[in-house]
Each structure stands twice: as structure tokens, then as C-alpha cells.
């Protein structure tokens, strides 16, 4: 683990966020595919909360966090990036649910609209975006995303494959949107601020967003 963190520390903020996203995504995919459901009422109740009010709180609070921080820093492009993420996730997920046919697209209870998991897509997409700007708290972002994704399997709203598709989709959407954003003039200024901050800070993982 120390060697892995050492490698990540040598990369830029985007590469580091991508690496952490893939690592967290793979661990979560393993959990939702291979770990059996508990079938315990108390654990189900926790999962039901995570997939309902917990998911809503995570998305609302993290959106507010990024939007307020970006607005105060006068980084309007990050405001646009966050709103584009929300819209793109909704558009892509709902579009895929409409065109997905076959037994693999059904929820475990047999109802339609199971592929992909919108909860997993949005949670992992937001965790990736948050890690770009608040990397020190990446463990919180990805823990929340993983817990929300697991909850969808535990409560029988999605299969492991459907959640896996959502995780991959969420990471992919942010990769595309953030890659385009990194060509924006504000992104160049943000990277310069990070480099200048790293030169004067004793902590190698410090970022301007923190």
C-alpha cells in the first residue's frame, strides 16, 4: 500500500484521481459481484437508507460543496463542469434504461429499468470529481460511493452486473468531462496554483482546493 501511495503522489491531480477512482471501483465491483447478500433485516435497513435518503444527502451536499467553493473562488468553469456531470449522468442513464432490453436489463424483482444503476453511476462520478478538487478526503468520497453502490445489490434494486456497469459509466463520464475541462483557461490557472502551493507547503499532497 505504501508503494502504491508513493506512485500516486508522483502523478498530477487528474492522474491521481483517476487511479484512485479505478482502485475504488475495482474493489466495489468485487464486493457487489462476489460478496453474498446478508439477508439480515438490520443490514437491509441500513442498505435501504443508504440507497434512499443517504444517496440523496450525498449528492445534494457534495453538489453544494463544489458549487459554493467554486463560486467563491470565481471558478465558473467548475460550476459548469459539476452541473454538466449531473445532467449527463441523468441523460445517459435514462437513455440506456429506455433502450436496454432483455432479461439482463431487468431488476432482480423482474421490473424494468435495472441497467445501469443510476445510483452507482452518479455516486462514483461525483466521488471522482470531488477527488479532483478535494483529494485529501478521497477516502470519504469513495467510501460513500462504494456504500451506496453496495446498497443497491443488498436491497435487490440492482444486480451486481448492473451496479458494475454504473460504476464504469460514472468514472467514464467524469473522465471525458474533466479531460475537456482541463483544456479550459481556468484549469490551467488551477494547475498553476496547485504547483505554487506545493512549492511552499510541507505536505506533498496539499492542493489549492483544500
Which pLDDT score is estimated for 48?
96
Which pLDDT score is estimated for 10?
36
Write down the residue that cell numbers 432483455 correspond to: 102
Per-residue CA distances from 26 to 84, 126, 194 (Å)? 25, 16, 28
What backbone phi and psi angles, to 5 degrees, belong to 58? -60, -50
Specify whether the CB–CB gap between 149 and 123 falls below 8 A.
yes
Which pLDDT score is estimated for 101?
80
* pLDDT > 90 in the chain, percent: 68
Instruction: Quote the pTM value.
Output: 0.85
For range 46-71, the mean pLDDT: 96
Residue extents of the structural domains in the chain: 13-33+42-200
The grid cell for 123 is: 455516486
pLDDT tens per residue, range 77-115: 999 999 999 999 999 999 999 998 888 899 998 888 899
**What mean pLDDT value characterizes the chain?**
86
For range 141-147, the mean pLDDT: 98
In the structure, what pLDDT confidence band is assigned to residue 206 with cuts at 50, 70 and 90? very low
Which pLDDT score is estimated for 192?
63
Residue 195 scores a pLDDT above 80: no
- Give me the DSSP letters along 138-157: HHHHHHHHHHHHHHHHHTTS
Name, in order, each residue with C-beta under 8 angstroms of 57's C-beta and a sequence gap of 6 or more: none
Which pLDDT score is estimated for 187?
77
Please write down the long-range contacts of 143-147, taking CB distance under 8 Å and 24 or more positions apart.
144/58, 145/24, 145/28, 145/58, 145/120, 146/24, 146/27, 146/28, 146/31, 147/50, 147/54
Specify whether the CB–CB gap between 119 and 169 falls below 8 A.
no
Amino acid at each position: 500500500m505504501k508503494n502504491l501511495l508513493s506512485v500516486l503522489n508522483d502523478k498530477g491531480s487528474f492522474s491521481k484521481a483517476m487511479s484512485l477512482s479505478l482502485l475504488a471501483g475495482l474493489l466495489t465491483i468485487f464486493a457487489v459481484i462476489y460478496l453474498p447478500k446478508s439477508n439480515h433485516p438490520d443490514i437491509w435497513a441500513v442498505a435501504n437508507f443508504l440507497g434512499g435518503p443517504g444517496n440523496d444527502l450525498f449528492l445534494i451536499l457534495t453538489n453544494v460543496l463544489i458549487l459554493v467553493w467554486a463560486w467563491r473562488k470565481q471558478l465558473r468553469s467548475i460550476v459548469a463542469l459539476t452541473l454538466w456531470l449531473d445532467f449527463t449522468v441523468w441523460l445517459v442513464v435514462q437513455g440506456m434504461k429506455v433502450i436496454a432490453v432483455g432479461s439482463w436489463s431487468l431488476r432482480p424483482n423482474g421490473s424494468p429499468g435495472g441497467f445501469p444503476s443510476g445510483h452507482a453511476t452518479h455516486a462514483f462520478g461525483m466521488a471522482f470529481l470531488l477527488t479532483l478538487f478535494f483529494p485529501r478526503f478521497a477516502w470519504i468520497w469513495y467510501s460513500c460511493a462504494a456504500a451506496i453502490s453496495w446498497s443497491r445489490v443488498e436491497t435487490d434494486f440492482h444486480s451486481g452486473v448492473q451496479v458494475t456497469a454504473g460504476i464504469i459509466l460514472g468514472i467514464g463520464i467524469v473522465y471525458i468531462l474533466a479531460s475537456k475541462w482541463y483544456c479550459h483557461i481556468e484549469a490551467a490557472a488551477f494547475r498553476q496554483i496547485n504547483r505554487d502551493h506545493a512549492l511552499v507547503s510541507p505536505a506533498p499532497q496539499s492542493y489549492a482546493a483544500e
